[in-house]
Amino acid sequence: MNQYIQDAITWAPFFGHGALITIVTAVISMALSMLVGLLVALGRITRGGGVLRVMRLILRAYVETLRGLPLIVTLFLIYFGLPSVGVTIRDPLVAGVLGLTLCIGAYQSEVFRAAILAIDKGQMEAALAFGMSGYRAYRHIVLPQAMLVAVPTLGGYFIGLLKDTSLLSFISVTELMQTANNLVSATFRAFEIYLMVGAIYLVLSFSSAWLVAIVERRLRPLETALTGGRLSNIGAGAPAPDFSEGVGPLFRT
């Protein structure tokens, strides 16, 4: 036991470094995938034909493809596959963040889309009736509310993302998992080391879950007010709101 504590202290700096890479990777990928997710969601709720229609088709194909591929396949395609068509990403960390962003972004676009569609149409109508442009109405009225609705769900995705970063060990990013692999190769003490790595992942997950729960508790009443509890009804197949001719048809006269 004493020996184990001694070893743990020796390994600690390596684990610290690995955990740091894991956290930084997760945070950066989360930020980027939220950006991707929001833009894709906005693109997909546009109306109108021509270029917009083509764009919607492409975005839909992106979302369905990236959600359908195992993350590890996406990562291998980017890191090992792309060089054979002349696109080489030398830094495995960059390739990893790119893969995570594309994959999680596809999932998050659906979260944002559902959140935007869940906002009461009366909000958009009021904004337009008071003279706001469509852009202003989205920017200042609809999106801030949609973000509040999306945050608790996104928190859940962050915890998943934190664990998914372990797959980056397969493309030689020295995050937490890869650190453990390296230590095991050097010491053959697999059980102790993977146990320790597991404990670190648990600490990271639990503390994120705790933060998410706090945020969620604060936002939940607001979320219900914003959506009238409709969010749960919105699935992937929900029709997009049609503001092209105002929002009249849905209103009782």
Q: Can you give the binding site for other proteins, defined by CB under 8 A?
A: 120, 122-123, 125-133, 136, 140-141, 144-145, 148, 221-222, 225-226, 245-249, 251-253
> CA 121, CA 142: separation in Å to the nearest integer?
9
Q: How far is CA 119 from the centre of its chain?
A: 21
Our CB check for other proteins shows the closer of 11 and 138 to be 138
Our CB check for other proteins shows the closer of 213 and 222 to be 222
> CA 124, CA 145: separation in Å to the nearest integer?
11
Our CB check for other proteins shows the closer of 3 and 232 to be 232
Please choose, from the candidates 241, 96, 233, the residue with its C-alpha nearest in 3D space to the C-alpha of residue 164: 96
Sequence-separated (6 or more) residues with CB below 8 Å from residue 164? 71, 100, 103, 104
Q: Is the Cβ–Cβ distance between 20 and 152 less than 8 Å? A: no
Shortest CB 142 distance to other proteins, Å: 10
Shortest CB 132 distance to other proteins, Å: 6
Our CB check for other proteins shows the closer of 123 and 166 to be 123
